[in-house]
């Protein structure tokens, strides 16, 4: 009697298969590209609630084939199990989460439900199916408002969240720490992103903010194409070099590459791993400097005004990115100028379609 083994198609070419939850989103889609560039096969899990299906044709144009997509919600445990049953998976990158700070204050349960239940399901399913390597989308929000220090290192994380969104990242890291202690075969890296900006240099993929963007650069580019009347700078009286808040803006392609470096690190590690790693450039840029850069790159005169401070804004923060360099061999390659140029080209492309 013969036994028939069904080998999933993607398994036949010996590539490592990486489940990418939220893989159709902004950071997820750029990571899918970098995974393919490095010989991995991404399996996108996304319910498209915050992603535009147009991203799939952009992805196809860059990677040269139709990406594998599973349209499910990570909060649906049975649907997630079904995906793990149908694909052979070697590692997971968990992006799927909500990320708008203001919305999280207005609707905290949406954030606790989606961001925490999704992560619990991913962990439970990973353990059940014996998948050990997990990269988690964390954020510099875990540093809160750093007192007296602007360049933060990984051990400076605060237990105090700035918002329900912030708490979901703090709780997410803790949940992973406790789970990893109980299941030492797990190997986990929390990547703490600073401020992701820009788009793919091909202008095939980028950010699709739904409604009014909360983040600075998409609001700037959308204002320049006339979608909004003017940009309000949230506060000009902060104790920074020009009075506006300072952030570490990291090009989304650099950020995407950090995930591939993290997976490589996990694959080459022996035994347990639990790490948190900053992903930023190590340089701070103020809001006014972002406006100046945008005007210089685009040749546009941006309509902006100085406004009130936005409640909850951190004054000045940027990454100490030494750990990423030493541990992952990763450092940022693109500059703010590259990021603004790519974000602007992406906005111009969106205007045409």
CB 337 to ligand UD1: min, Å: 18
Handedness of CA 122, 125, 127, 133 (dihedral sign): negative
Q: Which stretch binds ligand UD1 (CB under 6 A): 35-43, 74-82, 179-187, 307-315?
A: 307-315
> Cα–Cα distance between 275 and 187 in angstroms, integer?
9
Query: Which residue from 207, 216, 265 is spatially nearest to 28, judged by alpha carbons?
Result: 207
163 binds ligand UD1 (CB under 6 A): yes
Neighbours of 50 (CB within 10 A): 19
245 binds ligand UD1 (CB under 6 A): yes
Question: What is the CA 345 to chain-centroid distance, rounded?
Answer: 21
214 binds ligand UD1 (CB under 6 A): yes
Residue 165 bears catalytic tag: yes
CB 41 to ligand UD1: min, Å: 28
When the beta carbons of 180 and 244 are compared against ligand UD1, the nearer one is 244
When the beta carbons of 179 and 223 are compared against ligand UD1, the nearer one is 223
User: What is the bridge-based pairing of β-strands 285-286 and 246-247?
Assistant: antiparallel
3-state secondary structure of 284: coil
CB 176 to ligand UD1: min, Å: 18
Q: Which residues pair with 68 in a beta bridge?
A: 43
Beta strands in 14-89 (DSSP E): 16-21, 40-45, 68-70
**DSSP 8-state class, residue 154:** G
**Which token pair is 317?**
């923060």
**Which secondary-structure segment (H or E) carries 180?**
helix 164-182
CA separation, residue 15 to residues 24, 68, 135 (Å) = 21, 14, 18
Q: Which stretch binds ligand UD1 (CB under 6 A): 27-35, 73-81, 182-190, 308-316?
A: 308-316
Catalytic residue among 26, 165, 238, 318: 165
Query: Which residue from 195, 187, 194 is spatially nearest to 275, judged by alpha carbons?
Result: 187
Of 11, 15, 81, 310, which lies in the binding site for ligand UD1, with binding defined by CB under 6 A?
310
Under a CB-based contact definition with an 8 Å cutoff, are residues 286 and 246 in contact?
yes
Give the contact letters, 80-119, x = binds to ligand UD1 (CB under 6 A), - = no.
Answer: -------------------x-x------------------
CB 3 to ligand UD1: min, Å: 49
Query: Which residue from 39, 34, 40 is spatially nearest to 18, judged by alpha carbons?
Result: 40
158 binds ligand UD1 (CB under 6 A): no
CB 70 to ligand UD1: min, Å: 25
Q: Which stretch binds ligand UD1 (CB under 6 A): 33-41, 63-71, 119-127, 215-223?
A: 215-223
233 binds ligand UD1 (CB under 6 A): yes
150 binds ligand UD1 (CB under 6 A): no
Neighbours of 270 (CB within 10 A): 6
Residues that bind ligand UD1 (CB under 6 A): 99, 101, 139-141, 162-163, 165-166, 195, 214-216, 219, 231-234, 245, 247, 287, 310, 313-314
Point out the residues that are catalytic.
165
């Amino acid at each position: 009697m013969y036994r028939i083994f069904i080998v999933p198609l993607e398994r036949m070419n010996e590539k490592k298969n990486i489940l990418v939850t939220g893989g159709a989103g902004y950071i997820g889609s750029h990571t899918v590209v970098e995974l393919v560039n490095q010989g991995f096969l991404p399996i996108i899990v996304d319910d498209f609630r915050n992603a535009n299906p147009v991203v799939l044709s952009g992805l196809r144009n860059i990677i040269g084939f139709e990406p594998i997509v599973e349209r499910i919600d990570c909060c649906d445990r049975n649907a997630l199990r079904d995906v793990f049953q149908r694909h052979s998976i070697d590692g997971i990158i968990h992006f799927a989460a909500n990320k708008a700070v203001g919305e999280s204050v207005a609707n905290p349960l949406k954030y606790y439900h989606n961001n925490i239940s999704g992560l619990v399901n991913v962990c439970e399913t990973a353990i059940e199916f014996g998948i050990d390597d997990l990269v988690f989308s964390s954020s510099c929000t875990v540093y809160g408002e750093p007192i007296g220090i602007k360049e933060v290192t990984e051990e400076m994380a605060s237990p105090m969240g700035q918002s329900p969104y912030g708490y979901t990242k703090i709780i997410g890291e803790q949940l992973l720490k406790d789970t990893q202690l109980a299941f030492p075969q797990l190997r986990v890296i929390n990547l703490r992103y600073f401020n992701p900006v820009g788009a793919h240099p091909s202008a095939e993929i980028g950010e699709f903010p739904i409604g009014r963007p909360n983040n600075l650069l998409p609001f700037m580019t959308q204002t320049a194409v006339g979608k909004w009347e003017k940009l309000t700078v949230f506060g000009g009286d902060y104790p920074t070099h020009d009075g506006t808040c300072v952030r570490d803006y990291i090009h989304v392609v650099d950020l995407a590459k950090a995930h591939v470096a993290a997976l490589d690190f996990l694959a080459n590690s022996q035994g347990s791993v639990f790490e948190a790693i900053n992903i930023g450039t190590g340089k701070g840029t103020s809001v006014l400097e972002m406006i100046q850069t945008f005007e210089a790159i685009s040749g546009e005169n941006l309509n902006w005004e100085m406004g009130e401070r936005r409640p909850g804004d951190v004054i000045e923060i940027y990454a100490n990115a030494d750990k990423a360099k030493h541990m992952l061999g990763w450092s940022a390659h693109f500059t703010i100028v590259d990021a603004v140029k790519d974000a602007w080209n992406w906005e111009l492309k969106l205007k045409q379609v």
